A and B are shown apart, each in its own frame.
Chain A
Amino acid sequence: MSTLLKAVNLTKRFPGVIANEDVNFELKPGEVHCLFGENGAGKSTLSSCLFGFYQPEGGHIEFNGKPVAFRSPRDAIHIGIGMVHQHFVLVSEFTVLENIVVGTHEAGWKLQMQEARARVEELCREYEIDLDIDANVRDLAVGQQQWVEMLKALYLDARVLILDEPTAVLTPEESRKLFRIIDHMCELGLSILLISHKMVEVMRSDRVTVLRKGKVVGTVKPSDVTPDELTRMMVGRDVDLRVARDRSDDRDRTEPPVLIVENLVYRDGRGKLALDDVSLAIRKGEILGLAGVSGNGQKELFESLSGVLIPDSGSIILGGEQIKGLPSRHYMDRGVGLVPDDRFREGLIPEFNIRENMILGWQRHDDYTKGPFLDHKQIGTIADGLIDEFQITTPSGLTPVNHLSGGNAQKVILAREFVHSRKLLLANQPTRGLDLGVIEYVYKQIIVKRDEGYAVLLASEELEDLLNLSDRIAVISSGRITGVVDPQSTTIEEIGLLMAGGQQGVAA
């Protein structure tokens, strides 16, 4: 079989990181090829290079045997490559047809709607996509919106379709339908590049290329390997999971847990069950790790536990007190600190300076006010102390945080939340996008808090880190806790299976 799209020794660097190194990859006509790997393994970088979003620094891309150099996605689309992003780019007030036609080159000044309609209807028939093309996009289910995205690419004569984690936002039923369409597309000669870290999807592709730390580990046929072997390829064979733990084991097992969460259920605005009967308990001086592919309910769980979101049912008991349904202010007053995963959006006021951000949420606290006024002098003293303590690199406390690096901005949040919380620390992806030095620092600080007796909930996509830090690890998948495991005795394979929704849940 010939090769349609090929990456040859592709290398892409970002400041300080090599995102792709000597990546070789082949996509054959009519195959479903899965890119498999952990977050940060380089899947998105590779697909972005293939779609012309990034320009590689080394190596090159071949299409139909000819070298090509994409300057922008426009070039890639021109040649016949389409991409469906995880977040759809649709105008919700427009109809399906209008969404497909809008922005196409041949549109010109006057839309040729009749021709377009005929073509889109033809495409729907050809690929067996059952869709009312005159419906408004906002009235469609999420799965159907994804079909519109796919039709958009097909309308532009795509022969290669890149799907970025297509099932991340879908219900199981919608996923099944999607894969029926994908299979049919391949029969008709289209090539699909599927980015995924769900085992089920990987196992039903024609071939899998596993990426780890920017390099290709290998390309295999799923029929030749077991899921366990694939997981090991993804995570790395020679990982030392048993790094010496320096934990205080004098925790009082008889004392009731600081936080008890029972049967939490939350349905999001789209009607998706984001939290499905979640129960957890965290003790004093304990780190509960939360493993899972992002978007599986972690965000909703953290928001529920910090009072930002009120779950539909279930209970949240902090220090023996039922606090579900109270506003976030009450959670803060009872000693809950939150490190949100989207730090600039949820954790900081980017235009405010460091000092102001250090008191976010505590601006009415006695420590920072003098009568009815903010005590700027006192705020400055305390904040500048924290800047030193947390080694935040900045010209001064008056620097706006949007001028800080991600790591320093994260330290501002850590400093604020550590200083103001007393009992429970919620950290959702606290190390995402940070460099190693800062990651180490963040973890050290979390351990310090654990040793001070805090209960800690730590979510991370870095399994190794969770295994090193956690006392127990809960695994979340599609809003359900699929298992709680002991990091001393579990394996990455076991966690990987639980993350993919496996049923080997270990009761805890």
Chain B
Amino acid sequence: MTSINEPAENLFPEPVPKWRIERRVNPKRSWTFAMYALATLFGLFLSALLLLTSGADVFKAYSALLKGAFGSEKALYATMAKATPLILTGLATVVAFRAQVWSIGQEGQVYAGAMGAYLGCLVFIGLPAWLYVCLIILSGMIGGALLGTTAAILKDRFDVNEIISTVMMNYLIVFLLSYLIGGGPWTEVSTTVVYQQTGPIPAASELPYLLGSTKLHLGFILALTAALVCYVLLEKTPLGYEIRAMGFNPIALAYRGTNIGRTIIIVMAVSGAIAGLAGVSEIFGTAHRLRADTLYGLGYTGIIIGMIGGLRPLGTVVAGIVFGGLASGGLYMKLLAQVPDALVPAMQGILLLAFLCAGVAARYKLVRTEKDV
């Protein structure tokens, strides 16, 4: 047996860490707000560095961005139109993530919604205009909900991870649409060249424009309504109670009699329906024919919007409008300040990271380790 010859104090060379991270017991609203404000400035600062490296004039670029996003009535309408599908996919994220169901399926559900609605517009043709539009919206929501529910059933019955299943179904649905509009039954027939698109939708099925604008359509009202419905659902109904409780502690919820599998299915149906609405709004409010490229990325961006919005409906509306502004102002910035295309999504990414950091900074603090705790 070896013996220890050193004195006790020198036995242990390893230092004990001086700092640790602790949760704030009651984060103040003002502190949280300050963190997010700081994050915005920090995000803009980092974006400015990016603009500099690309050789653009930062001031010119930012003022073009602002002008293009919110500088005029017309710009504002364009921003709101761009924000519409983003708010909806953001809300779809809110509903799923609040329940800690990690659905990445908003992208596919947007496509499914657009396809459901297009099917509706073929089936219900000839009905009175208001009924026609309502049924189209409804079939779009059903399309998204069906796709979402599929993932939920796979999870409930076979314990298939929802992240995997939703991502895979995103691929499936895109290829299904490619088939339908690229040679399949929905392909535009009147032209000699085959584009990846359907023919124009009937005028009666278009979502009407608002305020005489040529960009802002009924979809924006639908998005605001959806936000209100989400808020009421989450905060004021027993189902919302279950969704929130499931997000925090599904074990206790199950112990006290709530069927978790069933709740997941409902969550995914609601989330899918809202994402589907984004597809309806984009196709029947903006593009006026079914094509894949206008739908691309709306679902994935929605995840960012929902996260930045703090998984709250109102926050999501705000975040959606900011991102809508980035999208429509980005175009301006590109034209006026010769900023490369790719910088706008890069800025979105930077802002997301900054906001996520702010979320952590608002909830935790660094504490000096006391001795002998």
- Contact status B12-A74, CB under 8 Å: yes
Q: Is the CB of A349 within 8 A of B255?
A: no
For residue B21, CB closer than 8 A to chain A, the reply is no
Instruction: Pick the contact of B372: A55, A68, A347, A368 (CB < 8 A).
Output: A55
Cβ-neighbour of B256 out of A68, A69, A345, A361 (below 8 A): A361
List B100-149 residues whose CB lies under 8 Å from chain A. none
Cα of A365 to Cα of B14 in the assembled complex, Å = 57
- What class of interface size applies to chain A in its complex with B? 35 or more
Residue of A nearest to B240 (CB): A374
* A329 touching B257 in the complex, CB below 8 Å, given contacts A345-B251, A373-B237, A374-B236: yes
The answer to whether B248 and A349 touch across the interface, beta carbons within 8 angstroms, is: yes
> Is B241 positioned at the interface, with any CB of A under 8 Å from its CB?
yes
**CB-defined contacts of A347 to chain B, threshold 8 Å:** 252, 255
> Within residues 235 to 291 of chain B, which ones have a CB less than 8 A from any CB in chain A?
236-238, 241-242, 244-245, 248-249, 251-259
- A67 on the B face (CB < 8 A): yes
CB pair A360–B245 under 8 Å, yes or no, is yes
Given known A-B contacts A64-B4, A68-B8, A363-B242, A348 and B252 have beta carbons under 8 A apart: yes
Is B211 positioned at the interface, with any CB of A under 8 Å from its CB? no
The answer to whether the Cβ of B11 comes within 8 Å of any Cβ in the partner chain is: yes
Complex formed: what's the CA distance from A55 to B370 in Å? 13
Bits for A372-414, please: 1 = Cβ < 8 Å to B, else 0.
Answer: 1110100000000000000000000000000100000000000
By beta carbon, the residue of chain B nearest A105 is B14
The 0/1 profile, CB within 8 Å of B marked 1, for residues 22-38 of chain A is: 00000001000000000
| Any B CB within 8 A of the CB of A327 | yes
Q: Choose one: B237, B241, B248, B253; the contact of A351 (CB below 8 Å).
A: B248
8 Å CB interface, B277-332 against A? none
Nearest B residue to A346 via CB reads B255
- Beta-carbon contacts of A337-378 to B below 8 Å, as 1s and 0s? 010100001111111100010011101100011001110100
A78 within 8 A of B: yes
B1 at the interface (CB under 8 A from A): yes
Q: Is A431 an interface residue when CB atoms closer than 8 A count as contact?
A: no
Determine whether B16 belongs to the interface, using a CB cutoff of 8 Å to chain A: yes
A189 to chain B, nearest CB (A): 7
A327→B261 CA distance, assembly (Å): 12
Produce 1/0 per residue, A80-108, CB < 8 A to B.
00000000000000000000000000000
Contact between B237 and A372 (Cβ–Cβ < 8 Å)? yes
> From A375, which residue of chain B is reached at the shortest CB distance?
B236
Contacts of B251 in A (CB 8 A): 345-346
Residues A350 and B249 in contact in the complex (CB < 8 Å), given A308-B254, A328-B254: yes
Question: In whole angstroms, how far apart are the Cα atoms of A403 and B237 in the complex?
Answer: 25
- Report the tally of A-B residue pairs with Cβ distances under 8 A: 97
Shortest distance in angstroms between A353's beta carbon and chain B's nearest beta carbon? 11
Chain A residues contacting B236 (CB-CB under 8 Å) are 373-374, 376
Count residues on chain B whose CB falls below 8 Å from chain A CBs. Answer: 30
Tell me, in angstroms, the Cα distance from A373 to B235 when the chains sit together.
Answer: 9
In the complex, residue of chain A having the shortest beta-carbon distance to the beta carbon of B235:
A374
* A78 B12 Cβ-Cβ under 8 A: yes
Q: How far is the CA of A332 from the CA of B256 in the complex (A)?
A: 8
Nearest chain A CB to B145's CB is how many angstroms away? 19
What is the CA–CA distance of A438 and B8 in the complex, to the nearest angstrom? 43
Task: Give the distance to chain A from B367, nearest Cβ to Cβ, in Å.
Answer: 17
Chain B residues positioned under 8 Å from A213 (CB to CB): none
CB of B30 closer than 8 Å to a CB of A: no
Which chain A residues border B259 with CB–CB below 8 Å? 327, 329
**A75-B248 contact given A338-B255, A360-B253, CB 8 Å threshold:** no
Minimum Cβ distance to chain A for residue B174 (Å): 33
Once the chains bind, are B4 and A63 in contact (CB under 8 Å)? yes
**B25 in contact (CB, < 8 A):** yes
Q: A63-B4, A189-B1, A374-B237 are in contact. Are A71 and B16 (CB under 8 A)?
A: yes
Inter-subunit contact A328/B255 (CB<8 Å): yes
- Contact B238–A369 (Cβ < 8 Å): yes
Nearest residue in A to B232 (C-beta to C-beta)?
A: A373
Interface residue from A72, A350, A372 paired with B248 (Cβ < 8 Å): A350
A349 to B249: give the CA distance in the assembly, Å: 6
A133, CB-defined interface residue at 8 Å: no
| CA A369 to CA B249, docked complex, whole Å | 22
Q: Is the CB of B252 within 8 A of A346?
A: yes
Q: Which of B3, B11, B238, B252 contacts A364 (CB 8 A)?
A: B238
A372 to B233 CA separation, bound complex (whole angstroms): 10
In the complex, the chain B residue whose C-beta lies closest to that of A371 is B237
In the complex the two chains form, is B16's CB within 8 Å of A348's CB? Answer: no
Interface pair B255/A356, CB less than 8 Å apart = no
| Residues of A16-67 contacting chain B, CB below 8 A | 29, 55, 63-64, 66-67
Instruction: List the B residue with the shortest CB-CB distance to A79.
Output: B11
Quick check: B4 and A159 within 8 Å, CB to CB? no
Determine the distance from Cα of A67 to Cα of B7 in the docked complex, in whole angstroms: 9
A196 in contact (CB, < 8 A): no
Contact B12 A75 (CB under 8 A): yes
CB distance from B26 to the nearest CB of A (A): 8
Of the A-B pairs whose beta carbons lie under 8 Å apart in the complex, a sample of 24, sorted by A's number, is A55-B372, A67-B8, A69-B8, A71-B12, A74-B12, A75-B12, A78-B11, A78-B14, A79-B11, A307-B257, A308-B255, A327-B257, A327-B259, A345-B251, A346-B252, A349-B245, A349-B249, A349-B252, A349-B253, A351-B249, A363-B241, A374-B236, A374-B238, A376-B236
- A-B residue pairs, 9 tightest by C-beta: A361-B256, A329-B257, A363-B238, A75-B12, A351-B248, A364-B238, A363-B241, A328-B257, A361-B257
Partner-B contacts on A (CB < 8 A): 29, 55, 63-64, 66-72, 74-75, 78-79, 159, 189, 306-308, 327-329, 331-332, 338, 340, 345-352, 356, 359-361, 363-364, 368-369, 372-374, 376, 403
